[in-house]
Amino acid sequence: MRSSFLALLRCLLCAACCGATGAQALFEENEVKAAVVYHLSLFTEWPNGGQRENFRMCVITEQDAMADALSRLGGKSVRGARLEVLRKRPVHDLAGCQVVYLGEMSEAARNRIVGQLAGRPVLVVADAGLETPGAMVRIDLAGERVLFDIDLQAVHRSNLRLDPKALRLARSVQQ
Amino acid sequence: MTGYPVFVVKAWCLGGVALFGVALTAHADLTTLSLEDLLSSEVISASRFPQQAREAPSAVSVITAREIREHGWRTLAEALANVRGTVTANDRGYSYIGPRGFLRPGDYNTNLLLLVDGVRINDNIYHGAPMGGEFPLDMELIERIEFVPGPGASVYGNNAFLGVVNVVTRSGSSYAGTEANVGVGTHGMRRVHASMGNAGKGQDWLVSVSHASSKGHDFYYPELDQPGNNNGRADDLDGEQVSRAYAHLRRGDLQVSGLWADRVKANPTAPFDSLVGDARSELQDRHAHVMAHYDHDLTTGLKLSVLADYGDYHFRNDSPGDRTVVLGDPNLYRDNAYGRWLNLQARATDARMPGHKWVYGVEWQKDLKNLQQGVDMTSGAPYADISARRQTTAVYSQDEWRLSPVWLLNLGARYDYHEGLGGALNPRLGLIQQISPRTTVKYLYGSAYRAPTAYELAYDDAASGTQSMKGNPDLKAERIRTYEMTLEHESATHWLYTGTLFHYRIRDLINQIQDPLDSMLVYVNQNRVSASGLGMQAERRWQDGTHLRVSLNRQQAEDELGQRVTHSPDVLAKLLATIPLGTWRAGMEAHYTGARQTTGGNSAAGFWLVHANLMAPRSKGGGEFSLRVTNLFNQHYDDPGGAQHEQTLLPQDGRALEVRYAWMF
């Protein structure tokens, strides 16, 4: 009985080796979140249109893997401009950024940044590891799906406009 | 089972895993997918080292919903068996978890605090933490399990002695629909479960029900082989029936949830001198909770959490006959325990002062009922009736003080006052050094206590005429002091390494002994235990879903005479692997438990145990098939019996198969 189980197991492991090239399309969390952030920036309208040469996305996180995933978006086009992804520290000036991604950092640092950007036309996307009041979009992982919530008041306060499609796809929209 | 085949298979496994890791590191450009497709695709959590875990004053282990599914764990004990350094045991009535290789058989896990969404599940009579079928929540409802080894009394108080297990339930939004599953397995295993949940309009709700039953195994206990005692045979006496229900509704800052679970387990081991093979031998555990959580941000950086719980617990033990009196005694002795309590907690988290994060909290628990009754069912004569209601009040505070970008100081203390038993002050000191963004060292000191339970203090069956247990009103709380150093490092290749060195000393350990004067079972503050050990773990997740974790723990626990503590193995090794097989996924776990001494002076031999789970991809219609084999190599192994057992070794389950099918719609 035992040997037949071992034989079965060997078969399974063999299948694993052979199956490696055809592995299913399971995506890595950070890659999906980065792509969602990119799509959200496509769905956003800034008050003065996109007259800049470069479209800036600023990334503040202690998590290197997420920063790497976002930096791979660099060079893509957003509203006719070239996307530039910059990694920033919480102390940096973020006024020149169109999109700010807030990842892992202390709660105090997050609150400071959100306070600094309040009312400015900057799309603030926060990863939902911590509560971030004032962020327009919160990206979250529920079960095995990436989701986002929108705070519409924060969007309006910043004079941004979000495409209704983004609102429709959000898990929740806070009015 | 010889060791050879397992090692060969492991080598194959590791080889395969290494190949995957190299082959699948390329990054796909997901921006070409639509937002809809991105939001509906299944993702694998990144290999990461979250800040909260990194800065926590302990070496936290987290078990995710995904791991539970990929390995098919049916009980909390099965999931926790995979945490580094834990030893598990089963006495056919309850499952036991011993952190850092330390386990007291028959103690109902009183050395662990079990929380569900922050609510204390340990009951108010035995202070037991239900870990097996008696755990009142379905595994499908768990979002994650946080296991925090070491003393947690500076925040949580009583029972957070060797560790804290916090089970976090799933949200309704993670369901966004209905899920139903059925399972069929060997030894009469049958299971149905259905849950439904969703979110929207500021609300989140979830409802779930389940029922499971199994027939279990037949046993022969040579120690009990006597003609009037069914010749030591316990056939058809290992069955289990579990029914559970759960619901929650969250609206804004308020969540109200309720859970209910009833578990009936036949008991083949004939504890407390009962007769073997009598079909009436049965245990029942019923847990019910209604809880309310309120979380509110008062201002930026100041958060208030209030929690109220109404808990209800019923325990029944039907114990047929008394083999010390006369073999074939037809009487049925029934012990009932009824517990009911109210628990209120309030906590403020204040991060307004730069560089500090203060937590202030109060907790109050009052017994509404704490009743232990024993009745001779044949004559109707009661032999025990003990009511012991108490209340506990506690205050605590903690500060996370960022001394510099490198150093974080965690200081905390809690004072608990147990009515009739006195107070306990438990501090904690943690110094966390962030050597680099990828490397953290933690230096920790903490103390904890475990108050004696109503059962240990007061239970006696004096009115039975054949008294076998007596109370000990002079019992004091057990106390522990722990010193620990932990190193956590994430390599550039995303391997997570954890190393822990620990030393702890327990005094006034509460142990059940047989009083040599009257040969009655009684709990006494008997031993001092001192233990030292080290643990090592390496873990990595690959992008294709491959997950590998290996750990090794060495520990030595000795009493004041320098004797090895019973039931405590000096070696524990664990391997956990998840491997994608094309679109299927295979989970495998292997555990090595070193030899354990029993109370009878002999020892339970060391053994390897291997479980495997195979999961088919979710079909278009939302169905998911899985097959689980526990004890793959049909290894024979024993767990040591407790003081209530005549048997020093209790044989455990051989190979078992279970097929499951889940629908999601």
Three-state SS string over B548-596 comes to: EEEEEEEEEEEECCCCECCCCCCEEEEEEEEEEECCEEEEEEEEEECCE
Is the per-residue pLDDT at B254 higher than 90? yes
Tokens encoding B461: 């069956």
Nearest-neighbour CA in chain A from B485: distance (Å): 24
Condensed to tens digits (0 to 9), the pLDDT of residues B534-570 reads 999 999 988 677 899 999 999 999 988 888 888 899 9
> Which letter, b or e, does each residue of B554-579 get, where b requires 16 or more Cβ atoms within 10 Å of its Cβ?
bbebbbeeeebbbbbbbebbbbbbbb
Q: Looking at residues A124-133, what average pLDDT do you find?
A: 77
CA distances from B443 to B261, B330, B625 (A): 40, 59, 45
Is A66 at the interface with chain B, CB within 8 A?
A: yes
Paired sense of beta strands A137-142 and A123-127, if any: parallel
Task: Please answer yes or no on whether B200 and A169 come within 8 Å at the CB atom.
Answer: no
Are B607 and B591 spatial neighbours (Cβ–Cβ below 8 Å)?
no
Vertex A80: Cα angle to A78 and A82 (nearest 5): 60
Sign of the torsion formed by the C-alpha atoms of B270, B274, B276 and B280 = negative
Q: Looking at residues B372-381, what average pLDDT do you find?
A: 90
Is the per-residue pLDDT at B651 higher than 90? yes
Greater confidence (B2 vs B368) lies with B368
pLDDT, position B18: 33
Question: Where is average pLDDT lowest: A14-18, B284-288, B463-467, B617-621?
Answer: A14-18
Percent of chain A with pLDDT strictly greater than 90: 18
Condensed to tens digits (0 to 9), the pLDDT of residues A147-161 reads 898 998 889 888 899
B contact test, residue of A13, A33, A60, A139 with most B CBs within 10 A: A13
Q: Which of residues 326-365 of B touch A (CB under 8 A)?
A: 351, 354, 357
Q: Looking at residues B219-226, what average pLDDT do you find?
A: 90
Report long-range pairs for A145-152 (Cβ below 8 Å, ≥24 apart).
A145/B39, A145/B40, A145/B41, A145/B42, A145/B43, A146/A29, A146/A32, A146/A33, A146/A36, A146/B38, A146/B39, A146/B43, A147/A171, A147/B39, A147/B173, A148/A36, A148/A40, A149/A173, A149/A174, A150/A174
Q: Residue B272: is it exposed, middle or buried by C-beta count within 10 angstroms (0-12/13-18/19+)?
A: buried
Ranges of beta strands (E only) in chain A are 27-28, 44-45, 54-60, 77-78, 81-87, 99-102, 123-127, 137-142, 145-151, 161-162, 172-174
Q: Which residues of B touch A115 (CB under 8 A)?
A: 300
Q: Which residues contact B536 (CB under 8 A, 6 or more apart)?
A: B497, B498, B499, B500, B551, B552, B553
Specify the residue for token string 């990461």: B48
B contact test, residue of A3, A21, A31 with most B CBs within 10 A: A31
pLDDT, position B8: 36
Is B174 at the interface with chain A, CB within 8 A?
A: yes
Amino acid at B146: E
State the DSSP H helix or E strand holding residue B357, giving kind and residue range, or none if neither.
strand B356-376
Partners of residue B504 on adjacent β-strands: B482, B531
Is B645 at the interface with chain A, CB within 8 A?
A: no
Nearest-neighbour CA in chain A from B180: distance (Å): 16
CA distances from B97 to B92, B641, B648 (A): 14, 14, 18
Is the per-residue pLDDT at A7 higher than 70? no
Q: Looking at residues B574-583, what average pLDDT do you find?
A: 92
Ranges of beta strands (E only) in B186-301 are 189-200, 203-214, 219-220, 233-234, 240-251, 254-266, 282-299
Q: Which residues of B touch A36 (CB under 8 A)?
A: 35, 38-39
* Closest B-chain CA to A76: B31
Is the per-residue pLDDT at B28 higher than 90? no
pLDDT, position B53: 66
Task: Please answer yes or no on whether A13 and B27 come within 8 Å at the CB atom.
Answer: no
Vertex B166: Cα angle to B91 and B387 (nearest 5): 60
Percent of chain B with pLDDT strictly greater than 90: 61
* Closest B-chain CA to A133: B300
Most confident of B205-214, B228-237, B432-441: B205-214
pLDDT, position B37: 84
Condensed to tens digits (0 to 9), the pLDDT of residues A59-106 reads 998 777 788 889 889 888 888 888 999 888 777 788 788 999 998 877
Are B402 and B420 spatial neighbours (Cβ–Cβ below 8 Å)?
no
Considering only the beta carbons, identify the residue of A107, A131, A146 that sits closest to B43: A146
CA distances from B649 to A21, A64, B601 (A): 48, 51, 11
Q: How many beta-carbon pairs under 8 angstroms link A with B?
A: 163
Mean pLDDT for all residues in chain B: 88
pLDDT, position B16: 36
Specify the residue for token string 């290197």: A64
Q: Which residues of B touch A65 (CB under 8 A)?
A: 46-48, 494
Q: Looking at residues B100-123, what average pLDDT do you find?
A: 92
> B32 falls in which pLDDT band (50, 70, 90)?
confident
Closest CA to B523 of B230, B110, B237: B110
Percent of chain B with pLDDT strictly greater than 70: 92
Q: Which residues of B touch A28 (CB under 8 A)?
A: 43-44, 46, 543
Specify the residue for token string 């916090």: B166
Greater confidence (A119 vs B327) lies with A119
Phi, psi for residue B285 in degrees, rounded to 5:
-130, 125
Task: Please answer yes or no on whether B23 and A21 come within 8 Å at the CB atom.
Answer: yes
Nearest-neighbour CA in chain B from A71: distance (Å): 12
Greater confidence (B365 vs A30) lies with B365
Global pTM value: 0.79
> B259 falls in which pLDDT band (50, 70, 90)?
very high
Is the per-residue pLDDT at B104 higher than 90? no
Q: Looking at residues B329-353, what average pLDDT do you find?
A: 92
3-state secondary structure of B172: helix
Q: Which residues of A touch B48 (CB under 8 A)?
A: 63, 65
Q: Which residues contact B445 (CB under 8 A, 6 or more apart)?
A: B428, B429, B430, B481, B482, B483, B484
What is the rounded CA–CA span in Å between residue B337 and residue B332? 16
Task: Please answer yes or no on whether B582 and A142 come within 8 Å at the CB atom.
Answer: no
Most confident of B54-63, B309-318, B327-336, B510-519: B309-318
Q: Which residues of B touch A141 (CB under 8 A)?
A: 43, 45
Nearest-neighbour CA in chain A from B405: distance (Å): 11
* Closest A-chain CA to B13: A13
Q: Which residues of A touch B616 (CB under 8 A)?
A: none
Considering only the beta carbons, identify the residue of A6, A13, A63 that sits closest to B16: A13
A contact test, residue of B35, B40, B179, B251 with most A CBs within 10 A: B35
> B183 falls in which pLDDT band (50, 70, 90)?
very high
Sign of the torsion formed by the C-alpha atoms of B66, B63, A66 and B400 = positive
* Torsion, CA B453, CA B390, CA B116, CA B110, rounded to 10: -10
pLDDT, position B20: 31
Tokens encoding B54: 């990194």
Is the per-residue pLDDT at A6 higher than 70? no
Q: Which residues of B touch A172 (CB under 8 A)?
A: 199-200, 202
pLDDT, position A4: 46
DSSP letter, residue B141: G
Is the per-residue pLDDT at B68 higher than 60? yes
Vertex B57: Cα angle to B51 and B61 (nearest 5): 70
Q: Looking at residues A15-24, what average pLDDT do you find?
A: 36
CA distances from B499 to B20, B185, B440, B539, B554 (A): 26, 39, 11, 12, 12
**Helices assigned H by DSSP within B115-185:** 153-156
* Torsion, CA B568, CA B570, CA B573, CA B574, rounded to 10: 20
> A129 falls in which pLDDT band (50, 70, 90)?
low
Greater confidence (B161 vs A29) lies with B161
pLDDT, position A79: 80
